[in-house]
Amino acid sequence: MAGRAPTGAPRGGRRALVHPGAWWLWALALGTAATRTTNPLLLALLIGVSGYVVATHRIATPAARSYAAFVKLGLAVLAVRLVFAVALGSPIPGSHVLLTLPEVPLPHWAQGIRLGGEVTAEALLFAAYDGLKLATLLICVGAANALAAPSRLLKSLPGALYETGVAVVVALTFAPHLIADVRRLRAARRLRGRPDRGLRGLLQVGLPVLEGALERSVALAAAMESRGYGRTATVPARVRRTTAALTLGGLLGVCAGTYGLLTAAGGTYGLPLLLAGVGAALAGLRLGGRRSLRTRYRPDPWGVRAWLVTGSGVAVAALLTLASVRDPEALHPGVVPLVAPGLPLWPAAAVLLGLLPALVVPQAPVSPRNPEEPSP
How far apart are alpha carbons 123 and 326 in whole angstroms? 26
Longest dimension (CA), the chain: 85
Q: What average pLDDT does the chain have?
A: 77
Model confidence over 288-338: pLDDT tens digits? 666 666 666 676 778 888 899 999 999 999 999 888 888 888 888 888 777
Average pLDDT over residues 143-156: 77
Query: Which is more confidently placed, 175 or 347?
Result: 347
SS3 state at 12: coil
Model confidence over 20-58: pLDDT tens digits? 888 989 999 999 899 889 899 999 999 999 999 998 888
Instruction: Examine the pLDDT at 170 and tell me if it is beyond 60.
Output: yes
SS3 state at 194: coil
For residue 146, give the nearest of 170, 171, 166, 176 by alpha carbon.
Answer: 176
The confidence score (pLDDT) of residue 2 equals 41
The confidence score (pLDDT) of residue 348 equals 92
The confidence score (pLDDT) of residue 315 equals 93
For residue 139, give the nearest of 180, 60, 83, 78 by alpha carbon.
Answer: 78
Q: Is the dihedral of CA 101, 102, 108, 110 positive or negative?
A: negative
Enclosing H/E stretch for 42: helix 40-57
Enclosing H/E stretch for 175: helix 162-191
Instruction: Examine the pLDDT at 81 and tell me if it is beyond 70.
Output: yes
Residues contacting residue 285 through CB under 8 Å, at least 6 positions apart: 158, 160, 161, 247
Alpha-helix runs per DSSP H in 58-116: 62-65, 67-88
User: Could you tell me the residue ranges of all domains in the chain?
Assistant: 17-232+302-360, 236-291
